Amino acid sequence: MNKLNHDQLLSLEHPFVKIPVEKFRSSLRTSQKHIEKEIGNLTDKISEISKKSVQGSMEPSQVEAALEAIVNRLSTLKRKLKDIRADEVLYSQRTKVRLQHLQDFATIQTLDSDEYARWSRVRLNRIVIDYMLRDGFRGPAALLAKSEHIEDFVDIELFAQSAKVEEALERQSCAECLQWCKENNSNLKKIKSTLEFSLREQEFIELARERRSQEAIAYAKKHLTPWQETHMKEISHVMGLLAFPPETKCHPYKRLYDKSRWNDLIAQFRSNNFALQFFTPEPLLNVTLQAGLSSLKTPMCYQPEHRNANCPVCDPETLGALAMDLPLSHHFNSSIVCRISGQIMNEDNLPMALPNGYVYSYNALTEMASLNDGKVTCPRTGAVFNLTDVKKVFIS
Amino acid sequence: MEQYIKDFDKVLKKQRALETNDPLDRLIAIVNKAKEDIRADPSAANTSLAVLGKSFKSVSNTISEEQKELQSSVTKYSKALDKKFTADAMAAINPHAFDNKEQILRKTIALHYIRQGNFEVGDMFAKAKMFDIVAALKNNDLGPALEWATRHRNELEKRSSTLEYKLHRQRYLQLVESQQTNEAIAYAKQIGYFGTRHKREVQRLMGCLMFIGRIHKSPYADLFAPNASDDIQHMFTRDYCSLIGLSQESPLYVSLTVGTQAMPTMIKMATIMKAKRTEWSQQSELPVEINLTDDTKFHSIFACPVSKEQATEENPPMMMTCGHVICKESLQKLCRGINSHRFKCPYCPQESMASQAKNVYF
Ligand SMILES: [Zn+2]
């Protein structure tokens, strides 16, 4: 029971390693692109110089100057690459540190060891930070990462750019998000994203809202027609807006004019952004919490007389409320908890029944009796009995 | 896992090789070389340029290959990760289970960090009454905490908490340390209330008055522990949590630790159920048993050893005269519905009647 299943738990850690590796990869790709482009240009340049020199249209001194210019361009490229190289190092190191953290986990033996508790706490902080970042709380997330010394285990800076795009969408501006689409064009195509079309639609809707029909038509020609093969139906819907004012109650135009579409855009951007960066679509905190709460939830949690202050689900204000709609746990095996001491009753600490049928642990009852002249009080009924009257209970 | 680390180290080695032997430096070097050759012998400019053209091409090809090789090894590595870390956590999520409960979740997180002593994080994340007191403590202002502790003196004493005494003591020591002699003497009265319970220490505290001004070189220097303020904060939050009925261990920590252990089973279950077009989170009860460690069992669960069903109010656990417990329905089956019928316990040789069986309460 207390043995750890490493492989199962490790297999949950895909994003933890995948995210930095993919960032590493994309920085490499960027530097590669820069290098190939500039070096290609310079190769051409050198053969051009060579040709001119052979033809005699370039003096050796001019050749020297031209070569000097090439050296300068190479130096400029080198400076440009410095930042990208720094990213490469950052993400490769981050990958390494995370792999090491998982390796440390693989050496932990049991669930009740201090090492596991520590690892568990780090995991909690990791997924809470992820939750905070998605929730827009970058300040507390950064503070927490710093105070727990786990900056390398979280990806705070990756949320900085996306926050800017989201803020712009909140201000009802598509420009930043369109720019983001452009930068990530090829990857968005891979996940069959329709975000760009939704943004174009929205910009058109805003023109229609202001009744700037001429501009709207020009916009549609330029930005909507490229999508006609796949989105003809949507395009004809928005074009219809030109005939209907923003106050219309007519379907589907009322829905198209609805400002809540901006929230949908934010949601669409988020899910695209998460997919591109290998973040899970929903926070890991939620799914882990759901699994944990359901595993802990019993019918007793919602009966005040059975409340256990140590049980997370028993708190109606916090986790009990979160667990409300989740399934109850299910058990084929009994486990009996002493209501006096909170200890598990088993062969080492037998369950004992008082004459009134209430069951407590041997340890708790004998301790109570030793302080009260051999008498025990049932905490749930107030009845008093002699310890000699209690009876062993057998739970098979 | 070890193999994955080794494989990544190979990638890192390639990266480092590229870093130390910057490809652009190599290109710069050969262009500079050509330039110098031409300066030294302008008549051979064409030859030098031809050499440059060739070597520039060959070096840039090498660079491109090295770069590509590193890139493809990272790509390969990234793909290999997908094979190792296969669990799709999202298989087990119900994206709507926490709808409209964001505030509750935030509050739970905030409370967790408060108990951990990371008040700043908790404070920034949510606001609660306790935060102000803790913030004051952080600024060495004991006032609000003292006010709270005095108001809850009876409850604290019932828990044999020494919080109030510790707070007064700290206030008094602050006065001694800042050499406010008269104030310290006046404050000593506050400590008098605790005189009987902390007799020896109270005597030492009064002794401090003799050494005002050079207290850190006195026999009482040990009273001024450097982390006394942290200890008081910890004590305050612990007592505060206990008084308002918060648990010993952070509920968020317990839930997430249990959740992490349960995830693999949950994912498997959710995937099977999805194939049958059902959702685990929509069930009233989990279809599988999730084993809990002893320290996360908070309620007695009685599963009848005969029927394997969990006891309910309608089907309560019954103890036979031999001490073995089964559920009422199983008992009825064993005696074939006749309360005076004698039957053998399924777990021991003893015979008894259903009428002799007794309700037990766990
Ligand atoms: Zn409970």
Q: Where are the domains positioned within chain B?
A: 2-80, 102-247, 299-362
CB-CB neighbours of A197 under 10 Å: 18
Chain A hits for B299, Cβ within 8 Å = 298, 300-301, 306, 308, 311, 337
B278-288 pLDDT, tens digit each? 877 778 889 88
Per-residue pLDDT band for A353 (boundaries 50, 70, 90) equals: very high
Q: Are residues A181 and A237 in the same domain?
A: yes
User: Contact B247/A309 with Cβ under 8 angstroms?
Assistant: yes
Residue-by-residue pLDDT tens, chain B, 362 positions = 888 899 999 999 988 888 777 778 888 988 888 888 888 888 888 888 888 888 888 888 888 888 889 999 999 999 998 888 888 888 888 888 888 787 788 878 877 887 776 766 765 554 455 777 888 888 889 988 998 888 788 777 766 677 888 899 999 999 988 888 888 888 888 887 787 777 778 888 888 888 888 888 888 888 887 767 777 876 787 678 767 656 657 789 889 999 999 999 999 988 888 888 887 777 888 988 998 988 889 999 999 999 988 898 899 999 999 999 999 999 999 888 888 888 889 999 998 888 899 999 99
CA dist A177 to A166, A169, A182, A302, B62, Å?
8, 7, 9, 46, 38
**DSSP per position, A55-68:** HTSS-HHHHHHHHH
Sign of CA dihedral B335, B340, B341, B344: positive
Q: Taking a contact as any Cβ pair under 8 Å apart, which residues of chain B between 23 and 52 contact chain A?
A: 23-25, 27-28, 31-32, 34-35, 38-39, 42-43, 45-46, 49-50, 52
Q: What is the pLDDT of residue B124?
A: 56
* SS3 state of residue A384: strand
Q: Are residues A234 and A211 in the same domain?
A: yes
Q: What is the pLDDT of residue A367?
A: 79
Q: Are residues A273 and A319 in the same domain?
A: no
- Closest residue, chain B, to A98 (C-alpha): B5
Residues A233-247 have a mean pLDDT of: 87
Write out the E strands in chain B.
317-319, 325-327, 342-344, 351-353, 358-359
* SS3 state of residue A353: strand
User: Contact A299/A326 with Cβ under 8 angstroms?
Assistant: no
Q: What is the pLDDT of residue B196?
A: 74
Q: Taking a contact as any Cβ pair under 8 Å apart, which residues of chain B between 249 and 278 contact chain A?
A: 249, 251-264, 266
Looking only at the bridges linking them, the beta strands covering B342-344 and B351-353 are antiparallel
Q: What is the pLDDT of residue B127?
A: 42
B299-362: CATH class: alpha beta
d(CA B266, CA A291): 7
Question: Any residues with CB less than 8 A from the CB of A21 and at least 6 apart, and which?
Answer: A91, A95, B74, B77, B78, B81
- Ligand 1 centroid, distance to A314 Cα (angstroms): 4
Q: A221 to chain B, minimum CA–CA distance in Å?
A: 39
Whether A227 maps to a domain, the answer reads yes
Q: Are residues A256 and A165 in the same domain?
A: yes
d(CA B343, CA B354): 8
Chain A hits for B15, Cβ within 8 Å = 88-89, 92
Q: What is the pLDDT of residue A59?
A: 84
Q: Taking CB atoms and an 8 Å limit, are B104 and A322 in contact across chains?
A: yes
DSSP at B89: G
Q: Are residues A17 and A102 in the same domain?
A: yes
Q: Are residues A375 and A347 in the same domain?
A: yes
User: Contact A293/A313 with Cβ under 8 angstroms?
Assistant: yes
Residue A21 structural domain: 6-112
Q: Taking CB atoms and an 8 Å limit, are B303 and A102 in contact across chains?
A: no
User: Contact B324/B348 with Cβ under 8 angstroms?
Assistant: yes
- Closest by alpha carbon to B30, among A269, A21, A336, A42? A42
* SS3 state of residue A345: strand
d(CA A156, CA B145): 35
d(CA B195, CA B241): 27
Q: Are residues A201 and A292 in the same domain?
A: no
Across the beta sheet with A351-353, the strand order is A359-361, A351-353, A391-392
Helix runs in A191-227, H state only = 195-209, 213-219
* SS3 state of residue A183: helix
Q: B185 to chain A, minimum CA–CA distance in Å?
A: 40
User: Contact A153/A122 with Cβ under 8 angstroms?
Assistant: yes
Q: Are residues A203 and A291 in the same domain?
A: no
Q: What is the pLDDT of residue B93?
A: 84
Q: Are residues A82 and A63 in the same domain?
A: yes
* SS3 state of residue A282: coil
Q: Are residues A206 and A168 in the same domain?
A: yes
Q: Taking CB atoms and an 8 Å limit, are A74 and B113 in contact across chains?
A: no
The per-residue pLDDT of chain A, averaged, comes to 90
How many percent of chain A have pLDDT more than 90?
Answer: 50
| Of the candidate ranges A287-291, A326-330, B234-238, B298-302, the one whose mean pLDDT is the lowest | B234-238
CA dist B243 to A339, B157, B165, Å?
19, 11, 17
Does residue B19 sit at the A interface (CB-CB below 8 Å)? yes
d(CA A3, CA A326): 27
* Token duo for residue B274: 């999805």
A169-227 pLDDT, tens digit each? 988 899 999 999 999 998 999 999 999 999 999 999 999 988 898 999 999 999 999 98
Q: Taking CB atoms and an 8 Å limit, are A315 and B251 in contact across chains?
A: yes
User: For the CA atoms of B122, A157, B104, B117, what is the dihedral angle to 10 degrees?
Assistant: -20
Chain B hits for A61, Cβ within 8 Å = 42
Residues A8-13 have a mean pLDDT of: 86
For residue A252, say if its preceding peptide bond is cis, omega within 30 degrees of 0.
yes
* Token duo for residue A341: 């001491």
Total domains in chain A come to 4
Question: Any residues with CB less than 8 A from the CB of A236 and at least 6 apart, and which?
Answer: none
User: Contact B251/A319 with Cβ under 8 angstroms?
Assistant: yes
Q: Are residues A309 and A289 in the same domain?
A: yes
Per-residue pLDDT band for A1 (boundaries 50, 70, 90) equals: low
Q: At A373, which CATH number?
A: 3.30.40
